[in-house]
Amino acid sequence: MSTNKNKIISKEECKAVKNKSKGVSLGTRKKPKSLLEAIDNINAKLSTYVRESDDDLILSEVRGNNVDYLAKRLHITPMQAAVFCICVEVGPSNIDFKSFARALRYSNAQALSLVDTLNELVRCRLLGLTNSFGNKASSYNISARALRSLIANADYEAPQRNFTDTESLLGYYHDFFNELEEEGIKQGLLLEEVEEIFSENTDLDFVKKVNQYPLGAKDRLLLIEFCDKLVNEDDSELSFYQLDDIFPNKSDFARIKAELRSGNHLLMLCELIEFSCHNGVADTNSFTLTEKARTELLASIDLKTKEVKLSGVIQADSITTKNLFYSDKVGKQVDKLRGFLDNENYKVLVERMKERFNRCGLTCLMYGGPGTGKT
């Protein structure tokens, strides 16, 4: 039988033969014993493939026991698992886009093809996205939730956004916000998360009531923050310095601050929030949910059991008694005045004044420098 010694072999066939001979298939190793072992195996093979390949690494071709094992335990796709491994290798924190592309020996333009995959990893909270609305360049990090799973070799469960009642929704938001604060994640992801909550819980009474109002995404974020403060922190008021954490973008914060202070913010026009009232005077720097908002949006929560914190109020049982020290001469005068003001003595004094047709009462002038005990 004759053979064609001059048969033309395609570039792809050459690449497949080369890779097979070098043993770079990610499926050649036996099943890993832990998540970290699987990540280590995948990164070792990817590193070899990238270093020795004439072409760029094509992640869509990644297959094998390690990546399948990782994808199954993290509940993600094999492609997402491979991208996550690269992030672990580059990270676990401050994973900038250039370093990510460099690890793949991709140009920045080529790496942009993986942005959707990265965003999916952010959405399921395996990755975090920091400084997305700040002045610095955005960067990724392995989330604390993901790190705990890797270290404990535990299956990763993405947070569930389907809620049965208002209190569980607000509890989820509260935990999510605190987790973002710990990891330095900015407004972008928080805003997206709130929109996901609303889109995935359209049958929930709280969501239905909020959707009756013509609110934008940032209005809903602000409203849910007011509800969270009241329900989860027993705090009925929100001040400007607290809004700075929710809206770190300076232009957003300045606009919202001006609208709130003037009383023209949409939440105020919809009668959902109002100025706080201190000593009968409206405080234009502090805001609270209206009675209408509490009744409509939080009807399923027993707010009567919540302790409402009043700004600037000192509880009587928290006051510490202070001892005052006087000279002997001043001390005698203070004791004499205290004697006049004693209940029984004061009654006798008032009766004497009435008998003599004098004005009832006692006037006493105290003088002295600051801190000498006049009050």
- List pLDDT tens digits, range 141-199: 888 788 889 999 999 988 777 888 999 999 888 887 877 665 544 556 777 788 888 98
Assign 58 a pLDDT band (cuts: 50, 70, 90): very low
Entry field: residues in the chain: 375
Highest mean pLDDT (candidates 110-119, 196-205, 349-358): 196-205
For the residues 128-153, what does the mean pLDDT come to? 74
Q: What residue ranges do the domains of the chain occupy?
A: 20-152, 166-306
Of the listed ranges 16-30, 78-92, 266-280, the least confidently predicted one is: 16-30
Share of the chain above pLDDT 90, in %: 21
Measured CA to CA, the distance from residue 159 to residue 124 in angstroms comes to: 7
pTM of the model: 0.56
Assign 363 a pLDDT band (cuts: 50, 70, 90): confident
CA 250 to chain centre: 18
For the residues 91-102, what does the mean pLDDT come to? 85
257 vs 324, higher pLDDT? 257
For the residues 103-114, what does the mean pLDDT come to? 82
How much is the mean pLDDT over the chain? 78
The kind and range of the H/E element at 339 are helix 328-341
User: Which pLDDT belongs to residue 2?
Assistant: 43
Of the listed ranges 273-277, 280-284, 291-295, 315-319, the least confidently predicted one is: 315-319
| Confidence check: pLDDT of 107 > 50 | yes
Count of CA atoms in the C-beta half-sphere (13 A) of 258: 5
User: Which CA distances in Å does 355 have to 124, 339, 351, 352?
Assistant: 85, 21, 6, 5
| Confidence check: pLDDT of 289 > 90 | yes
User: Which pLDDT belongs to residue 6?
Assistant: 45
- Determine how β-strand 281-289 pairs with β-strand 273-278: antiparallel
| Residue 296 neighbours by CB distance under 10 Å | 17
User: Which pLDDT belongs to residue 23?
Assistant: 41
The torsion defined by the Cα of 367, 368, 372 and 375, in degrees rounded to 10, comes to: 30
Of the listed ranges 170-174, 215-219, 248-252, the least confidently predicted one is: 248-252
Contact yes or no for 287/237 (Cβ under 8 A): yes
For the residues 7-30, what does the mean pLDDT come to? 47
| Confidence check: pLDDT of 312 > 60 | no
Closest alpha carbon to 152 in 31, 32, 34: 34
Fold of 20-152: Arc Repressor Mutant, subunit A (1.10.10)
Closest alpha carbon to 373 in 331, 341, 344: 331
